[in-house]
Structure formats: structure tokens, C-alpha cells
Structure 1
Amino acid sequence: MKNLVNFKIAVFFSLLFFLSSNLFAQGYILKDDGLIDARAQEKINQIGNEVKTKLGVSIYIYTIKGLDLPEKLPMKKKFATIKAHENELLPALKKPYILLTAFIEDTHVNLIHSNDSLKQIVDKDDILDGYVVPLLASKDKNTLFAKVSASMLNGYASIADTLASNKEVKLETSIGNEGKVSSTIWRVFMYTIIVTGLLAYTYAVLRKRKS
């Protein structure tokens, strides 16, 4: 009987630990509107847990389809509306934090730091321009679902790696340099298209003048 009681107690605490761990793990993706793949979510939560444990920083993601803003809304008002929406999220976040936001239909992505020291470590433009935007803006056969999933995981992982590198800490959940490589390939591809287009245009103009 005593062994049975001890077994039940062990099962209870194991279940309690499992539930609390899952609840904690789900906290890094504030909202995704069903745009982030379950496998990407799992990886994001793994990275988030390790960063929180080893570095004491919470990295959050807030991704939605959009705010249903009027198409003719002036850009200044559009930005102000999105900014106000972002600011409403901040009081509930645990400091220190970094928040990666994406409003897909409004074509807006952002990186928000809870303090200046994090802002100096994690460069907003480097993360967004190098890891997030290229995947979201790519013109290929991949679905929006795949692009959002890849870009959010890519950006999230790069933030984590940057924080870890600053503290000279190794992250077991890191995805390495894969994200940067894919972004670099995309950039080279786009630049090639642009250069090729300019050369073709120049050639057409010169040929027209000769004729």
C-alpha cells in the first residue's frame, strides 16, 4: 500500500511538472493567428526556454494577419495605429525582453527591446533585414504559412544566438548559421535579377540607338 501511495505521489508531481513546463514553454509566442507551423513553434519554445534559463532574457513573438486597417489610411496613421497596438502588449511582458512582431497584411515587422543594453547587443536592422524580411518578401512557390513560419523561427533563433554570443554562452537549441545562409542566398538571387535586368535594359537602349 505504501509503495502504491508513493507511486501515485510520484505520478502526480511528474504530471504537475509536465504541465507547468508546457505552460511555461507556450509563453513565448503571444499570438500567431495560426500562421506558425507547430514544428516551428516547438523549436521557438525550446530556444526561448534555454535563453531564459541561461541568459535571463525572454524573447517573445507576436504575429497576426493584420489589423484590418482601411486601404486608403495614410501611412503615418497606419504606423501610429500599429505602434499603439504594440505598446498595449508591453506591460504584460517579463523584463528584460525582446519582442519580435509581424503584421503580415499591414507589411510591418518590428523588434522591441525592454532596455538600451539589449538594443546595443541585438541590432534591430540586422535581425529584420538579414533574417526576417527576406523570407517574408520572397517571391517563390512557398505558401504564406511556410514563409511566416520560417521567418519567425529564423529571426527568433538569430536573436537568441546574438544574445548567447555576447555572453559567450553555447545554446544547445541553436540552429546555427543556416538562417543567415538562406537569407544571403536570397539576396544574391535578387541582386542577380536586378543586375541582369539593368544590363538587358542598357543593351536594348544601345541597340535601339544604333538602329
Structure 2
Amino acid sequence: MKAFNMLKIAVLSLLFFLIPLNASINKYVLSDDVVIDPRTAQKIFEIGSEVKNKTNVNLYVYVKTDLGIDKNIPIKEKMQLIKKEETELTSMLVKPYAVLTIAVEQMHVNLLMSEKLKSIINKDDILDGYVVPLLASKDKNTLFTKISAAVLNGYSEMADDVAHANGIEKLESGIPSSGKTAGTIWKVFMYTLVILGVFLYTFAVLRSKKKK
């Protein structure tokens, strides 16, 4: 019975870490809309805090499941509404800033930044090389798992760009071997944790039934 209780505690502890982190307690996650994995949110907070302390640059992520835009409206009108949303978002940010945005239902990804950072952060390289490939990858992982991986991958690269521009060779909170494979490594790590949680739960249930 003691061993069974310990297994239940282990499973519950693991599930706790799978519960999405409340964005209100993470100032660098402006809105994760229950999309970003809590481990990803925590890592973003660590990286964002270090970048802010060392360079005074604010790096954010803004991820929404749905912007509430009608799917049937013309593309031009949809883009105008998305642009309006982005303008309202950036108007509230303190310069210098950069914010990685994703709208799942609208299939929209963007990287917005204040003028000072436009010559420091390579928008096209980050989106095309570090974010979009993970979102579009053909594998068994869920879309939300891919979003967490893509967000962390892109955010880490943004942080590295800002750090290097300020003479910082390596961030203490950065991802080891940061680059186009970093997000994939993190994605595999998260997927493994989920599988482990399911295994522990199944083992606990079977053990309980056997004792009965």
C-alpha cells in the first residue's frame, strides 16, 4: 500500500507540472491562453529575466488559440484585424521590446519589435528557421506540443541575438546548443515526460487491481 501511495504521489506530481502555468504570474508571457507548456513558460521567464537584467531589453511571447476573427471573411480583411490586434498589443509594451506572436486558429505567426531591435534581431531567420519548421513538422506530437517547442526555440534565438549585440557571449539561462535543433530537443523531452506519466499511472492502476 505504501508503494502504491508513493506511485500515486509521483503521478500527481507529474500531472501538476503538466498543468498550464497562469500567464499572469509570468510577465514575459503576455497571454498563453492555456497553450504553452508550463516548463516552456518557466524557461521563458528565466531567459527573459536574464536578458532584461543584463541588457534592459524586454522579450515577450503572445500566444492565442483564437483571436475571435471570423474564418469566412476575406484574407485582406482578416490581416487588417490581425494588424489592429498587434498594434494594440505593442502600444502597451515598454521599449525596447520584441514579441513573438502566434494565433493558432488564424494560422498566423509574427515577430514584432521596436525600432532599436530591428537591426539586432533577424526576424525572417528566426521565423523561417526556428519557429515555422517546428509548427509545420509532420510527427505524432500534438499541435500544442509543437507550439511550446516552437515558442521556446524562437524565444531562445531572440535572446541570443540581443545578448550577442550587447557583448554577452552566452546567457546563463540559455538552452545548451541553442539553434535550430534546440526546440526539437525540448519537444522530445516534453513528449517523454507525458509518456512517463501515462506509464506510471497505468502501472499504479494495474498494481491496485492485482492486490484486490
Taking structure 2 as the reference length, the TM-score comes to 0.71
Equivalent-residue separation in structure 1 for 2:81 and 2:100 (angstroms): 17
Q: How far apart, CA to CA, are the structure 1 residues paired with 2:33 and 2:179?
A: 23
Q: Hey, what's the Cα distance between the residues in 2 that align with 1:24 and 1:95?
A: 20
In the other structure, the counterpart of 1:164 is 163
Q: Look up the equivalent residue of 2:137 and give its one-letter code.
A: S
1:59 is aligned to 59
Q: Cα distance 1:85–1:73, how it changes in 2: closer, same or farther (>3 A)?
A: same
Q: Residues 157 and 135 of structure 1: is their aligned pair in 2 closer, same or farther, counting only changes over 3 Å? A: same
Change (3 A) 1:182 1:40: closer
> Which blocks of at least 5 consecutive residues in structure 2 are unaligned?
1-22, 185-212
Q: Distance in 2 between matches of 1:183 and 1:91?
A: 29
Report the counterpart of residue 90 of structure 1 in structure 2.
90
- Cα deviations by residue, 1:94-138 (Å, 9 ceiling, x for unpaired): 1110011000111111111111x3101101101101111011111
Separation in structure 1 between the aligned mates of residue 174 and residue 182 of structure 2, nearest angstrom? 16
The structure 1 segments of at least 4 consecutive aligned residues displaced by more than 6 Å after TM superposition are none
Q: Name 1:105's counterpart in structure 2.
A: 105
Q: Quick check: which has more Rg, 1 or 2?
A: 1
Spell out, residue by residue over 1:172-191, the C-alpha distance to the aligned partner (whole angstroms, 9 max, x if none).
Answer: 0111434413679xxxxxxx
The corresponding residue for 2:130 is 131
Q: Distance in 2 between matches of 1:38 and 1:179?
A: 21
**Counterpart code for 2:50:** E
Structure 1 residues 125-175: Cα deviation after superposition (integer angstroms, max 9, x where no partner): 011011110111112100112111111111100000111112221310111
1:37 and 2:37 are equivalent in the alignment:
yes
The total of aligned residue pairs comes to 162
Residue 10 of structure 1 is matched in structure 2 by: none
Unaligned runs of 5+ in 1: 1-22, 185-211
Alignment RMSD (CA, Å): 2.1
Deviation of residue 67 (structure 1)?
Answer: 1.9
User: What CA distance in whole angstroms lies between the structure 1 residues aligned with 2:80 and 2:113?
Assistant: 18
Distance 1:155 1:77 in 2: 28
The amino acid that maps onto 1:132 is V
Q: Which has the higher helix share?
A: 1
- Aligned letter for 1:161? D
Shift of residue 69 of structure 1? 2.4
CA distance in structure 2 between the partners assigned to 1:74 and 1:48 by the alignment: 37
- Within 2, Cα distance between the matches of 1:99 and 1:181? 21
Match of 1:69 in 2: 69
Q: Structure 1 166/176 Cα, relative in aligned 2: closer, same or farther at 3 Å?
A: farther
The answer for the alignment partner of 1:50 in structure 2 is 50
Partner amino acid, structure 2, of 1:158: E
What code does the residue aligned with 1:127 have?
I
Please state whether the residue corresponding to 1:92 is helix, strand or coil. coil
Do the aligned partners of 1:46 and 1:173 also contact (CA within 8 Å) in 2? yes
